[in-house]
Amino acid sequence: MSRENPGKARPANGTPARIAYLLASLAILAILVGLFRPGELHAINQKEELELGRAVHLQIAKDDALFSDPYVNQYFQKVAGRLVRAAPKQSFPFHFYLVKSNTLNAFAVPGGYIYFHTETINSLENEGQMAAILAHEIAHITSRHFSRRAEKSSAMTMASLAGIVAGALLASSGGHNSAALGQAVMLGATGATIQSMLANSRADESEADRKGRDYMLKAGYHPKDMYGAFRIMNEKSFSLSSKIPSYLSTHPGISSRLASTFADQENAPKSPPDPAFLAVRDRVLALTAAPERAINTFQARLKENPADASALHGLGLVATRSNRFQQAEKYFRDALAASPGNGEYLSDLGALYFQLRKPEQALTEYQAALKSGDGTPQTCLGLARTSEILGKTAEAASYYDRAVSAAGENFPPALEAAGTFFMKRGENAKGHFILGNYFIQMGKIKEAVFHYEAALKTPSPYTAQINQIMRDLEPFTDKKKS
């Protein structure tokens, strides 16, 4: 699978249950081996929260569950960053990720890790609603619900914990039950009975609602969008599943919260159209939903407006996923005719030509995208790879540097390609360092350590940074300091 190609997103079927089981199992194992005294639980400190959060994230990344499209992530990170600035300062950074999933959910993990399902984006109406759910999850982190739950569970025995472990194992064969248990464990809701877990969880949900609403307001969003978001989650969760809806299982009591915390917003006027969010939603739908569903959605819109650029572009993405390249090219061209100079559309057309092994045409489209102001890692990586193929080594090196800089934590293909390029060019320390970062993003610690150690064999500007990374990785490797 070519992760940098927007047309090659992996179908999400089956992912939610497996992710939830992995989350539950990993969190429980971490609890068993290091966070609790024999016989009873104790309050975990921030260092332990950070280690647990990173361990959970590494497992999610290793399972290839993250959605790394640069255009969607750029928008998503911008909204998340706006909310973080409105929340109380924490002594650790927040990390936000999109998870490839066909269920409605979002969840927070100790240590500042927050995950948002792609189907949730497909189901919302505007940016404010997405911000509302993110603000709610941020509030779970700032409230330290995991640690607080552990403090309240001081009488919890290992026998009771073992029962929850058994429940997680049994839930591995189911879908939404495993998601519910995984979230309950990660938030520390380890009461002796399911009833006590739900009671504690509802209290935390109410606190997260209140604080999240405050963060929204400070960030410039309207509280009516929090009402709208939870109304949609409440309604659509049931329509998407005949079993226990994922979001309702992991965030219980929505109906009562709508009637209390958000009652004042029920009759508030709807937000105006949100073109930026709707374009992002179209992209997520095209790249993650069942092709038939996406095609029907876009075709219906084109009947009303044949010049709907986003619908045309969405059909191009779906056609690329289905290897209907000639049709994809036509849709991309039609989208550009309706929205001339659109950098995202130009870059996707470049990606199509690169996939068709037409580097000259790909380079032309990528250059046009960059000229339009599109400096996303997809465009920079496309320019780097096409320049490399065409023998323009110096230009390729420059673009690879730009791609790595722009990639951040959410576009591993840029790191993999850049690291390989610099290794071939003889810049071993740089290449190994970048490849080490790539494997970290993929959750592969052993491979990352191999490259970091190889990079350290040669003095370089990366030495101090690598040494710090290696120290941070010690809890997840066998090479702990004595």
At 411-470, the pLDDT tens digits run 999 999 999 999 999 999 999 999 999 999 999 999 999 999 999 999 999 999 999 999
Angle between helices 445-455 and 463-473 (to 10 degrees): 150
pLDDT of residue 233: 82
Residue at 166 is within a domain: yes
Separation between Cα atoms, residue 317 and residue 453, nearest integer Å? 40
Residue at 406 is within a domain: no
- Could you tell me the two tokens for 294? 């996406």
293: three-class secondary structure by DSSP? helix
Residue at 23 is within a domain: yes
Q: Dmax of the chain from CA atoms?
A: 68
- Last-in-domain residue among 238, 265, 292: 265
Q: How confident is the model at residue 69 (pLDDT cuts 50, 70, 90)?
A: very high
Mean of all residue pLDDT scores within the chain? 80
- Last-in-domain residue among 221, 238, 265: 265
Residue at 360 is within a domain: no
Number of domains composing the chain: 2
Separation between Cα atoms, residue 192 and residue 200, nearest integer Å? 12
Separation between Cα atoms, residue 59 and residue 78, nearest integer Å? 25
Separation between Cα atoms, residue 303 and residue 288, nearest integer Å? 23
Q: What is the pLDDT of residues 318-352, one digit of tens each?
A: 999 999 999 999 999 999 999 999 999 999 999 99
| Domain membership of residue 88 as a residue range | 6-265
Nearest residue to 105 via CA among 219, 200, 12: 12
pTM for this one?
Answer: 0.82
Residue at 282 is within a domain: no
- Last-in-domain residue among 241, 265, 289: 265
Residue at 40 is within a domain: yes
Residue at 301 is within a domain: no
DSSP class of residue 154?
T
Burial class (CB in 10 A: 0-12, 13-18, 19+), 450: middle
Residue at 366 is within a domain: no
